[in-house]
């Protein structure tokens, strides 16, 4: 389950004041996204990066991404739900459909790493446990090679204080999450943005990668 650390009242009020100025509408995302059926050569990528609300929000900003679906994968149980996916060994993940003529898989992998904490073995940000750990689920050898090459490049660069612990695994069954989880950042923007800020996701990503991120 998601957890949010305690905050002093001043920080909470400041956060709410900032969020009050943020206007997010589902119409904007719908206008941006291209129908999957209109992309003849659409491809799929699957990334686990902690809270799937946040991963979905991040990738919906990428040109060439035409669909994102939050769900569960990597475990052994059938038809997992939000309540029981952890017991079945699943991670929260996002299935991404993209147009390779606009954005490459390699570019998506690079973007993914720059929006997570890939050196955290215990979860992501305030969310702890296996279901929130990071993983790239590959659909073929080409994707697997691209993912591992990016990990090797990050490790060789020395940009992070320790080595990447994100795992690369062959994709298995992907189970879409409940409807209320889909596009949660659009359905409940105030709650979503407060959760994201309170969880420290963007602050930690900026600390690691040196770039301001907003989801």
Question: Token pair 């992309």 is at which residue?
Answer: 39
Whether 51 is catalytic is: yes
The catalytic position among 51, 54, 126, 199 is 51
SS3 for 89-104 is CCEEEEEEEECCCCCC
Question: Token pair 């446990």 is at which residue?
Answer: 129
3-state secondary structure of 186: helix
State the catalytic residues. 51
């Amino acid at each position: 389950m998601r957890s949010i650390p305690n905050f002093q009242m001043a920080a909470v009020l400041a956060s709410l004041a900032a969020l009050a100025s943020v206007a997010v509408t589902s119409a904007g995302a719908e206008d941006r996204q291209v129908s999957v059926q209109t992309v003849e050569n659409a491809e799929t990528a699957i990334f686990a990066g902690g809270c799937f609300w946040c991963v979905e929000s991040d990738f919906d900003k990428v040109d060439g991404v035409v669909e994102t679906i939050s769900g569960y994968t990597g475990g052994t149980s059938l038809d997992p739900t939000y309540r029981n996916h952890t017991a079945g060994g699943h991670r929260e993940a996002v299935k991404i459909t993209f147009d390779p003529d606009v954005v490459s898989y390699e570019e998506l992998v690079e973007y993914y790493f720059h929006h997570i904490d890939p050196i955290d073995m215990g979860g992501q940000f305030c969310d702890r446990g296996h279901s929130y750990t990071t993983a790239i689920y590959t659909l073929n050898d080409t994707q697997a090679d691209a993912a591992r090459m990016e990990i090797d490049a990050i490790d060789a660069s020395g940009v992070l204080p320790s080595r990447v612990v994100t795992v690369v695994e062959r994709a298995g069954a992907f189970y879409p999450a409940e409807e209320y989880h889909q596009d949660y950042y659009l359905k409940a923007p105030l709650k979503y943005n407060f959760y994201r800020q309170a969880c420290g996701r963007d602050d930690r990503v900026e600390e690691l990668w040196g770039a301001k991120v907003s989801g």
